[in-house]
Amino acid sequence: MESKNVVNFKEKMPPIYTKYIRFGLFLVVIAAILILLLTNVFIVKENEYKVVRQFGEVVQIIEEPGLHMKIPLVQSVTSLPKYQMTYDVEEAEINTRDKKRMIIDNYAVWKIDDPKKLISNARTIVNAEAKMAEFVFSSIRSELGQLNYDEIINDEKSSRGSLNDKVTDIVNNLLERDQYGITVTDVRIKRTDLPEENEKSVYTRMVSERDSTAQEYLSKGDAEKNRITANSDKLVKETLAKAESEADIIRGQGEQEAAKIYNEAYSADAGFYSLYRTLESYKKTIDGETVLIIPLDSPYAQTLLGQTD
């Protein structure tokens, strides 16, 4: 009876309404399909891996960038970074070969090479980083444990060499052995500190070493200064002696030449010579306060009075 009523209702419904209903159902189906497609399409970027799981098991790892699709309600997709990452290893205390304690702070640069191995053996990035940090610390502790305290803190006496490269190689060998699917590209020590109780003694020793070095430089400077001063004094004395010798020679030549000229002049006119000597004696014996007591008939008095022949 009811089915007959439904049939009668449909038969009584205008054809235009039936058309609208069918069109609406079509739109709903199309929208559902689009939503289903959009929710199950994923994009792989250049700097990531996409891990496709089916019921929790890894079935595909996609590396190439582009659009991909998963099976609805069956598969799930997660991402893993393909780029290099930095992990700051927690600082820890180590013992040197001479039984001194030090605090080491370092970091590691690493990347994922094989996502499948990472998921199989480390499960998560956090676990992989924890294992890597463990290997880094044990390697650094082993390498620095072969050095004395002074060799580590004093760059001038350091025999560390390529410690970072050694630690990087050791850590990569351990990661490869356990197949964690990651590679460390670099390990660096950021800071080496001392336990608080050791800082004062080390600081005092460092100051003493620097003072000793400074004193050595000062001693070398004083020695060099004395050497330069002695050389300069020697050069000055030699120059002065040479100059005085040359001056004596020139002076002697001048006096010889003057004597020659005097002899020539005196031999030419004896009276002029006598007058010249007299005038020279005036310059030496007579000034503004000179008092002369001489007889009037002396040649000197006659010369002064202008009574000479």
Of 50, 65, 80, which residue sits at a domain end? Answer: 80
Average per-residue pLDDT in the chain?
A: 79
- Tell me what pLDDT residue 2 has: 46
Amino acid at 46: E
| Tokens 């994009």, residue located | 43
- Tell me what pLDDT residue 9 has: 47
| Distance (Å, whole) CA 27 – CA 31 | 6
Q: Dihedral of CA 300/301/302/305: which sign?
A: positive
- Containing structural domain, residue 233: 208-268
132 CB burial (10 A radius; 0-12, 13-18, 19+): buried
Count of structural domains within the chain: 4
Asked if 93 and 37 sit in the same domain, the reply is no
Asked if 133 and 169 sit in the same domain, the reply is yes
Is the residue at 203 inside a domain?
Answer: no
Is the residue at 7 inside a domain?
Answer: yes
Radius of gyration of the chain (CA): 56
Asked if 27 and 67 sit in the same domain, the reply is yes
The model carries a pTM of: 0.52
| Distance (Å, whole) CA 191 – CA 96 | 15
33-37, 40-44, 109-113: range with highest mean pLDDT:
109-113
Asked if 94 and 174 sit in the same domain, the reply is yes
Asked if 174 and 89 sit in the same domain, the reply is yes
- Tell me what pLDDT residue 173 has: 93
Asked if 284 and 239 sit in the same domain, the reply is no
Instruction: With beta carbons less than 8 A apart as the criterion, state whether 85 and 183 touch.
Output: no
Question: Residue 100: which of 38, 147, 34, 134 has the closest Cα?
Answer: 147
Asked if 100 and 185 sit in the same domain, the reply is yes
Of 80, 108, 132, which residue sits at a domain end? Answer: 80
- Tell me what pLDDT residue 169 has: 92
304 CB burial (10 A radius; 0-12, 13-18, 19+): middle
Asked if 100 and 60 sit in the same domain, the reply is no
Asked if 91 and 147 sit in the same domain, the reply is yes
